[in-house]
């Protein structure tokens, strides 16, 4: 097969001074940071749906993407050819992982049987290409939101037939992920929510979602898939309200339905901001329950209120992300999945390289900066000091559960007033971070 990107050779690390736009200035895969290589820390992953299926259409206009390898059909042969193009791209980029929905990689057939057969035909090629390049599957997932059968949702549909069909689709997607040695499996509830409560039995829908996820856990055990399940929170879009709206809502749902042992979270920046949170807030909430599994790396636009899925190029953002990831001890099965698409105006194939290089360099910088901040120690030292009243006397007694309201009343009467507050020093700390950027 002729090369799809003949003008691009393997992207190499060229150092911060490089003016070569098709080189890394900061992502240096073998460089050691805090005892691990950058490659091991960041575990970059390319998303199949945006990078190889995105046409760059928007709500007002058709796709603009130039993808010379496409023949305009949605055939299995085209899907197989596209898979080889994808691996040429990822191999040249040096991305160690990719992620897909079942229907991104292979076309939906006339019925489930045909869809499964199509998927198997493409999985065969994916397997060959994984073997040839050493690139692995970070996670697989099932697309339960595009087809009209899921208009009312999948696991939360008012129609039991749609639930059943979705279960069959997830069963197959899970088996295929397992076959490809996937490190994890994602559930993103695109239409698991509602558009109006007037026609919705919220409690019944949530119960169904809980049951669905338990069936998935059972099937995972049955086939011997060892990777974690991840839930990917998002508050809305395409529904008005999605049940797994943010990290806290997901964790509460998992607790309520006794699923917490089987799931971690896959946190996406633009979903966090849609929910009115920062990415770092969502990461910290997940990490606090030991449920931070993986991230979908992208960013939104402050001027636009939707999921714009832009490549993450904001170094302040990647620094915050990496501070939390390093604090929780780094990724195990998870990674940095670029759930991001080039802008509609960036329509040439080479833009796919520029975009990923930009994201990878921004994360490499975030990693290096976060490691430097941690090595410096002033930030962590400040936080430790800020809570030092808890390390001895009354604070230590409260933390150890040795006192109740009665003893605390006696203590308050004795001190008379709180005179020991210290400054939060936000501006000082913001300037401290800027020292490293
Ligand atoms: C959509 C989601 C989706 C998931 C995978 O907003 O980010 O792409 O990552 O289904
Ligand atoms: Ni998204
Ligand atoms: Ni995502």
- Domain boundaries, given as residue ranges, for the chain: 12-376, 389-436
Ligand 1 near 104 CB (within 6 A): no
Closest ligand 1 atom to residue 337 Cα is 9
Of 48, 268, 295, 299, the residue with max ligand 1 atoms within 8 A of its CB, to mutate for a pocket test, comes to 268
Q: Is the dihedral of CA 14, 17, 21, 27 positive or negative?
A: positive
Ligand 1 near 232 CB (within 6 A): yes
Give the number of the ligand closest to the Cα of residue 271.
Answer: 2
Interval between CA 50 and ligand 1 midpoint (Å):
10
The DSSP symbol for 61 reads B
Catalytic residue flag (residue 101) = yes
Report d(CA 407, CA 403) in Å as an integer. Answer: 6
Q: Which of 226, 232, 282, 297 is nearest to 46 (CA)?
A: 297
Report d(CA 179, CA 227) in Å as an integer. Answer: 12
Task: State residue 98's pLDDT score.
Answer: 99
Task: State residue 306's pLDDT score.
Answer: 85
Report d(CA 174, CA 139) in Å as an integer. Answer: 10
Give, using CA atoms, the residue closest to atom 7 of ligand 1: 339
Q: Which of 87, 186, 104, 90 is nearest to 140 (CA)?
A: 186
Task: State residue 253's pLDDT score.
Answer: 98
Task: State residue 413's pLDDT score.
Answer: 98
Q: Using alpha carbons, list the distances in angstroms from residue 148 to 177, 202, 205.
A: 24, 21, 19
Ligand 1 near 234 CB (within 6 A): yes
Ligand 1 near 188 CB (within 6 A): yes
Interval between CA 146 and ligand 2 midpoint (Å):
14
Among 41, 50, 102, 104, which one carries the catalytic annotation?
Answer: 104
Of 137, 234, 300, 308, the residue with max ligand 1 atoms within 8 A of its CB, to mutate for a pocket test, comes to 234
Ligand 1 near 129 CB (within 6 A): no
Q: Which of 24, 163, 149, 195 is nearest to 95 (CA)?
A: 24
Ligand 1 near 284 CB (within 6 A): no
Q: Note whether 295 and 321 are within 8 A (CB).
A: yes
Q: Which of 139, 170, 179 is nearest to 48 (CA)?
A: 139
Give, using CA atoms, the residue closest to atom 2 of ligand 1: 188
Interval between CA 143 and ligand 1 midpoint (Å):
9
pLDDT tens column, 84-96? 999 999 999 999 9
Structure tokens, 271: 């979903």
Task: State residue 1's pLDDT score.
Answer: 86
Neighbouring C-beta atoms of residue 363, cutoff 10 Å = 29
Residues by chain with Cβ below 5 Å of ion ligand 3:
268, 296, 339
Q: What is the CATH number of domain 12-376?
A: 3.20.20.150
Interval between CA 389 and ligand 1 midpoint (Å):
43
Give the number of the ligand closest to the Cα of residue 309.
Answer: 2
Give, using CA atoms, the residue closest to atom 4 of ligand 1: 188
Interval between CA 403 and ligand 2 midpoint (Å):
46
- Crossing angle (nearest 10°) for helices 315-327 and 279-288: 10
The DSSP symbol for 182 reads -
Give the number of the ligand closest to the Cα of residue 295.
Answer: 3
Ligand 1 near 339 CB (within 6 A): yes
Closest ligand 1 atom to residue 50 Cα is 8
Ligand 1 near 88 CB (within 6 A): no
The DSSP symbol for 11 reads -
Catalytic residue flag (residue 361) = no
Q: Which of 219, 217, 220, 274 is nearest to 249 (CA)?
A: 274
Contacts 24+ apart (CB under 8 A), 418-423: 420/389, 422/386
Q: Is the dihedral of CA 328, 332, 336, 337 positive or negative?
A: negative
Residues of the chain predicted below pLDDT 50: none
Ligand 1 near 141 CB (within 6 A): yes
Among 28, 50, 101, 356, which one carries the catalytic annotation?
Answer: 101
Closest ligand 1 atom to residue 296 Cα is 9
């Amino acid at each position: 097969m002729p090369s799809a990107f003949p003008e691009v050779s393997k992207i190499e690390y060229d150092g911060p001074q490089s003016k070569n736009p098709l080189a890394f200035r900061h992502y240096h895969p073998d460089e050691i940071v805090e005892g691990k290589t950058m490659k091991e820390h960041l575990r970059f992953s390319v998303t199949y749906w945006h990078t190889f299926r995105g046409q760059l259409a928007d709500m007002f206009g058709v796709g603009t993407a130039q993808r010379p390898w496409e023949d305009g059909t949605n055939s299995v042969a085209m899907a197989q050819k596209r898979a080889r193009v994808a691996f040429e791209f990822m191999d040249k980029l040096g991305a160690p992982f990719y992620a897909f929905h079942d229907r991104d990689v292979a076309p939906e057939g006339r019925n489930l049987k045909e869809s499964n057969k199509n998927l198997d035909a493409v999985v065969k090629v994916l397997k060959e290409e994984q073997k040839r390049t050493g690139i692995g599957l970070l996670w697989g997932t099932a697309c339960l939101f595009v087809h009209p059968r899921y208009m009312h949702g999948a696991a939360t549909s008012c129609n039991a037939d749609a639930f059943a069909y979705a279960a069959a689709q997830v069963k197959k997607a899970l088996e295929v992920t397992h076959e490809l040695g996937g490190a994890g499996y994602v559930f993103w509830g695109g239409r698991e929510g509602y558009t109006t409560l007037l026609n919705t039995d919220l409690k019944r829908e949530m119960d169904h979602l809980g049951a669905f996820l338990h069936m998935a856990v059972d099937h995972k055990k049955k086939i011997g898939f060892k990777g974690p399940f991840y839930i990917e929170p998002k508050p809305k879009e395409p529904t008005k309200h999605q049940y797994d709206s943010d990290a806290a809502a997901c964790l509460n749902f998992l607790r309520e339905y006794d699923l917490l042992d089987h799931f971690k979270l896959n946190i996406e920046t633009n979903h966090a901001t849609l929910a009115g949170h920062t990415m770092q807030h969502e990461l910290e909430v997940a990490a606090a329950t030991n449920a931070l599994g993986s991230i979908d790396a992208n960013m939104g636009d402050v001027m636009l209120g939707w999921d714009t899925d832009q490549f993450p190029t904001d170094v302040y953002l990647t620094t915050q992300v990496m501070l939390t990831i390093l604090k929780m001890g780094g990724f195990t099965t998870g990674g940095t999945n670029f759930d991001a698409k080039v802008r509609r105006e960036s329509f040439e194939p080479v833009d796919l390289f520029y975009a990923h290089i930009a994201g990878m360099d921004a994360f490499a910088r975030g990693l290096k900066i976060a490691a430097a901040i941690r090595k410096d120690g002033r930030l962590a030292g400040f936080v430790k000091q800020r809570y030092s009243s808890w390390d001895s006397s009354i604070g230590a007694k409260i933390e150890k559960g040795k006192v109740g309201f009665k003893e605390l009343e006696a203590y308050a009467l004795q001190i008379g007033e709180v005179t020991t507050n210290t400054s939060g020093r936000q501006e000082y700390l913001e300037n401290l971070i800027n020292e490293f950027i």
